[in-house]
Structure 1
Amino acid sequence: MPQPRHTIVYQHVSSPHLREWFAETLAAYPELLPHPIYLRKLPTKYSTMRAQPVFNLQFWRRATRHYRVDFSSHLEVTEHVRVRELPKEVVVGWFAHELGHIVDYLHRPWRGMIAFGLGYALWSRYMREAERRADTIAVDHGFGSEVIATKQYLMEHATLPDHYKKRLRKYYLSADEIEALVTAYEAHGEMPDIVEI
């Protein structure tokens, strides 16, 4: 009997390997099967990759909501990070983190999604906890080594500007913290408690 497959919509993504890596990563998130997932390339100026609900008629019901992962084609971003040129492990770790955000969104009603967006935009503590939850969810889905590879690549990448690295240190788990999560998971068979927001 064939396994159910995720519904993926690619928008402006011409790279075959990015499409393949995204589908492979998404396959590890069975809770997202009921939701169409979009991978979209567009000129976002301030982030390399982000995950959001799609604002359409389905947005108002959790059960039918669509989600998307955007990655940037903006020159100021791609000058430093060209997603299509990154090693597979780094890209998969990044996709796993963004899909972690989407898993975090699943239980939120539409009012909760709007409150989440406001909290993320306005309070740095809220943003930090959201990013750490996404990392933790990615590790819980088996992507610990890939998320570590992503962190290490971004922090050690010579051309990234200092303000970008400072932002990574402030809001995201470090590679060492991810390693500690992986170790705890392997030792106890479950993730340590993660912060509720």
Structure 2
Amino acid sequence: MIKLIIKIFLTIIALVLILAAAVFFQEVDPKQVKPGFTPHQFADTLANHTYDLDSLKAIIGDNKGLPEGFEIAAAIAYSAYPQLKDVNIDMILQPEGAPMESTFNIWTLFIPGKKHRQYRILLNDAEKTFFDPILLRSLPFDAQVGILAHELGHVVYYHQLNLFEIGKWGLNYLESDEFRATHERSTDLMPVYHGLGSQIYQYAYFVRKDSSCLEFFKGAQGFMDKYYMTDIELLEAMNNQRGSHLFQNAH
């Protein structure tokens, strides 16, 4: 009996070492890339328009969770990513955590075939916290669309990786500030690449310049400017994307 237990224990250790080695030797680029198609170019201002949610649902597919109270903003963000139409994604309001966070059901990563994967975008909706000014409920409509489009950019990235690459990405993200900053800042470009540049710009502008966010940004500026693109940087990216200076005098 003891020999059997030792054999099982050694087998488990061997499997763990093999998995660790497989993860260690993966090469993972932190940068996001442009989509290989011409995206739909959304209007610079999406607020104060009427949208039909059923029509949007037909575009994004029936495997998309919509956060209560923010269904239209979420559906528009989803619609900018046609490559995610067949991917299972849920957006969940919760009373804790980071303001917004893209993750996955880890067990679904072990099922052969990416069609079984399930992704989650967790949205902090807590009351009376430091993050209050930048939570989804505090943002203007266009900024809501922009930040949700950022989070969906993470899903695009995850969905391109295999299990071992996701493991290596997670290790690099936790251990390397440079890797994390490169990944997050390039993910800010995903809404730009997908026709929602104005919306991610409006988010970046709001959290840095709106009077309701001044106290928050005062305490978070170093972090925000290191890991996320500023509104000025996003304007430049938008100009480069469109080959013009349409946004030079925005705000």
TMscore range, shorter length: 0.7 to 0.9
CA RMSD, aligned part only? 2.1
Residues 85-130 of structure 1: CA deviation (Å, up to 9, x unaligned): 3210111110011111111112100111111112111211111111
In the alignment, does 2:96 pair up with 1:44? yes
Give me the identity figure in percent. Answer: 22
In the alignment, does 2:162 pair up with 1:106? no
Corresponding residue of 1:185 = 241
Q: 1:125 aligns with which of 178, 187, 212?
A: 178
Corresponding residue of 1:195 = none
In the alignment, does 2:214 pair up with 1:158? yes
Q: 1:174 aligns with which of 230, 233, 237?
A: 230
Question: How far apart in 2 are the matches of 1:158 and 1:73?
Answer: 20
Corresponding residue of 1:63 = 115
Change over 3 Å in CA distance of 1:113–1:6 after alignment to 2: farther
Change over 3 Å in CA distance of 1:73–1:143 after alignment to 2: same
Larger radius of gyration: 2
Q: Contact 2:150/2:188 (CA < 8 Å) preserved in 1?
A: yes
Q: 2:68 aligns with which of 14, 19, 23?
A: 14
Question: How far apart in 2 are the matches of 1:122 and 1:58?
Answer: 22
Change over 3 Å in CA distance of 1:132–1:59 after alignment to 2: farther
Change over 3 Å in CA distance of 1:80–1:137 after alignment to 2: closer
Corresponding residue of 2:137 = 84
Question: How far apart in 1 are the matches of 2:62 and 2:76?
Answer: 10
Corresponding residue of 1:93 = 146
Corresponding residue of 1:191 = none
Question: How far apart in 2 are the matches of 1:155 and 1:118?
Answer: 30
Corresponding residue of 1:31 = 83
Residues 49-70 of structure 1: CA deviation (Å, up to 9, x unaligned): 1111222335544333111111
How far residue 148 of structure 1 moved from its aligned partner, in angstroms, is 0.7
Partner SS state of residue 224, structure 2 = helix
Amino acid at match of 2:68: S
TM-score (norm 1): 0.83
Q: Give the number of the structure with larger relative contact order, counting CA–CA contacts within 8 Å between residues 6 or more apart.
A: 2
How far residue 74 of structure 1 moved from its aligned partner, in angstroms, is 3.2
Give the gaps of 5 or more residues in structure 2. 1-57, 245-251
TM-score (norm 2): 0.66
Change over 3 Å in CA distance of 1:91–1:143 after alignment to 2: same
Give the gaps of 5 or more residues in structure 1. 189-197
